[in-house]
Amino acid sequence: VTTRRRAEAALRESEARYRALAEAIAAVIWTTRPDGYVVDMPQWRAVTGQTVEEVRGSGWLDAVHPDDRERTRELWQRSVDAGSVCDLEYRIRASDGRYRWFNARGIAVRDEEGQVREWVGVCIDITERKAAEERQALLMGELDHRVRNILASIQSMVTLTGRSAASKEAY
């Protein structure tokens, strides 16, 4: 009896630790059935403002940006069919109506026979990272443009100097 009570206490402690960790992480933690069907995702609902009924099944996809929706659906289904890790980025319409970028990563939890028991995943807000990448791409484009202009100016000076120079030394 004592061994069983210790095991039960350890299990309760472990579950409490997991719940606290899930609440402490600044991310959306989710689970689905083995076939990828969503029963409910409370943290997803908190971000998107969707109801339980709207999230159920594949309804959660309605909060994904229309330009990202089909690719997200295909990659998720491919992962479910193969039982492989799902790792993708997409925009989610938040409850305030604005879209935010998220990285979603899901992994299959398997039973003793190797069958998928459920899927567990996390969606992490990467909006700030995406904005920084956009700024960096804009700056790199501007830098590239300016360097090309400078090189074109140098090339023109060299060409004009070569036309008017009477000798190699004068050039």
Tell me, what's the pLDDT at 30?
Answer: 93
Pairwise CA distance, residues 46 & 99, whole Å: 14
Partners of 86 in beta bridges = 106
Pairwise CA distance, residues 27 & 48, whole Å: 13
pLDDT for 31-41, tens place per residue? Answer: 999 999 999 99
Pairwise CA distance, residues 138 & 156, whole Å: 27
Average pLDDT over residues 135-159: 86
Residue 24, pLDDT > 70, answer no
Among 100, 107, 99, which Cα is nearest to 124's? 100
Pairwise CA distance, residues 96 & 156, whole Å: 54
Block residue for tokens 């069983």 = 4
Residue 22, pLDDT > 70, answer no
Among 138, 123, 145, which Cα is nearest to 41's? 123
The identity of residue 54, as a single letter, is E
Residue 5, pLDDT > 90, answer no
User: Greater confidence, 161 or 5?
Assistant: 5
Pairwise CA distance, residues 93 & 104, whole Å: 14
